[in-house]
Amino acid sequence: MRPAKSLTQRIDKLKSHLQQENPMLVEVVDYYRQLDKIGYQTGILTPEESFANRISWWPLVSVLGTFSAGKSSFINSWLGMKLQQTGNQAVDDKFTVISYSRDEEVRTLPGLALDADPRFPFYQISEEIERVSQGEGGRIDSYLQLKTCHCEQLKGKILIDSPGFDADAQRSAILKISDHIIDLSDLVIVFFDARHPEPGAMQDTLEHLVRSTVERNDANKFMFVLNQIDVTAHDDNLEEVVAAWQKAIAQTGLTAGAFFCIYNEDVAVDIPSETVRERYQARRDRDLRAIVERVDQVGVERIYRIIGSLENTANQIEQKWMPKIAQLFKRYRKRVLISDAALLAVAAAAALGVGALVGGVTELAAMLTGSWIGLGALALIHVGVLWLHFRMRKWHADVMLKRLKRAGENTAVLNGFRKNTHFAHSVIPGSLIGWRRSARKRLAKIREVADGFVQTLNDRFTNPSGESEAS
């Protein structure tokens, strides 16, 4: 199986762009293509898919959270310009992708500009939306928009401002896009509103934004921001409010969630006590500086993430997906063989019955093999048994696939299982298509190369020996 021509062209364009921006990543793309080859051979990838398309090759910062939590205000402050609308009510119900432009004029483009452009992290997201919310995939402009602005801060980065999570309308599609964003992002900044000190009211939001991070190997890319903390100054109870939110996060299973506390001084409440005001300002300045520093570092983190994803995907194939497919195929094979045994038993019983009618098994065999009519009858019986065999195989595969889909099984596993249950693949050997020793050797090589890339990156940013370049 080969990748679609359009996919090959897109990856070639990606390499061309990276050649100008970061030549080191050009070689990384080639190793993603090696992963793709294994994916096509084993069936875990379709010809229209590539592991290289499952990550963002540009530094991606996502700002998520509830309505009126100050997401847009933070973005405007970081950009140094009023790009996003702000307000106490829902002011924007779309995901806004913000990208740098040489043009001085700010432009707002429809969601189609993102859905049809493989350079952005929402390429063909309409298909994903359609899967979870039928009929909504064609309304991509209702969910996404692209804003371009001439801001030096944005160079080399993509910023995403999300709608609030506490909206019930179109919830499935919004959550699907949110999951997609979280997977691709280098940094996820989650905003909560300190003016609503009862985190229990936001439990659904916490469940979705936090619970999925517990088992992630990149959970450190999440920053939780408690905004508008100035409202707690009157009672001087910031520590209690923060503790309440940390407890709410801990209840979702994440015990290491740290909150950064900030507020917008332009719209802050008056803090009469100078001592309290200075303490709150110091906390805000420290935390805001930490957030901005993380945003500025996403370019470096992006390279590590891409290389880490290369190694992680290789591990997923060998340690998770293929063993799962093997387990499912073994179960499927057992069911097929039991069906075949029952089918042969029925066929044998029918033959014995016919033999009894014509005077015994010997007479029946002589009748079948002693004439063209008999040979034709044998051929028909053979074809009928084969037809029933393949029908039963398809039925078992379809039943298992439906159950796996309902259980939310990974797409790679579903694709691989589907390929191995194709009628052209025999169930007798019990081996998986494309999963040979050579494939495992290539995966080991990819992991080794990924470690080498990381060491090269470390040499750029660290110098444990303390020796000079010349020495």
CATH of the domain at 298: 3.40.50.300
**Whether residue 165 is found in the same domain as residue 108:** yes
Plot region of 70 (φ>0 → left; ψ -120 to 50 → alpha; else → beta)? left
The pTM (predicted TM-score) of the whole model is 0.68
Would you give the end-to-end CA distance of the chain in angstroms?
51
pLDDT more than 70, % of the chain: 75
Do residues 84 and 75 lie in contact, with contact meaning Cβ atoms separated by under 8 Å? Answer: yes
The total of structural domains in the chain comes to: 2
Report how far residue 311's alpha carbon sits from residue 303's, in angstroms, rounded to the nearest whole number: 13
**Whether residue 164 is found in the same domain as residue 309:** yes
Q: Is the pLDDT of residue 444 over 90?
A: yes
**Whether residue 298 is found in the same domain as residue 168:** yes
**Whether residue 193 is found in the same domain as residue 325:** no
pLDDT at 443: 96
Query: Residue 28's pLDDT band (boundaries 50, 70, 90)?
Result: very high
Report yes or no on 396 lying in a domain.
Answer: yes
Report how far residue 436's alpha carbon sits from residue 420's, in angstroms, rounded to the nearest whole number: 14
Phi/psi of residue 99, each to 5°? -135, 155
List the domain range (segments joined by +) for residue 351: 320-433
pLDDT at 197: 55
Mean pLDDT (the chain, rounded): 79
Per-residue pLDDT of 244-295, as tens digits, reads 777 777 776 665 556 788 887 777 778 888 888 888 889 899 999 999 888 8
Report yes or no on 278 lying in a domain.
Answer: yes
Q: C-alpha angle 310/116/316, rounded to 5°?
A: 20
**Whether residue 272 is found in the same domain as residue 380:** no
Closest-CA residue to 162 (of 245, 113, 90)? 90
Element (H, E) at 189: strand 187-193
Report yes or no on 337 lying in a domain.
Answer: yes
Q: Which of 283, 300, 316 is the last residue of a domain?
A: 316
**Whether residue 285 is found in the same domain as residue 138:** yes
Report how far residue 188's alpha carbon sits from residue 470's, in angstroms, rounded to the nearest whole number: 40
**Whether residue 283 is found in the same domain as residue 305:** yes
pLDDT at 90: 47
CA–centroid distance for 105 within its chain: 34
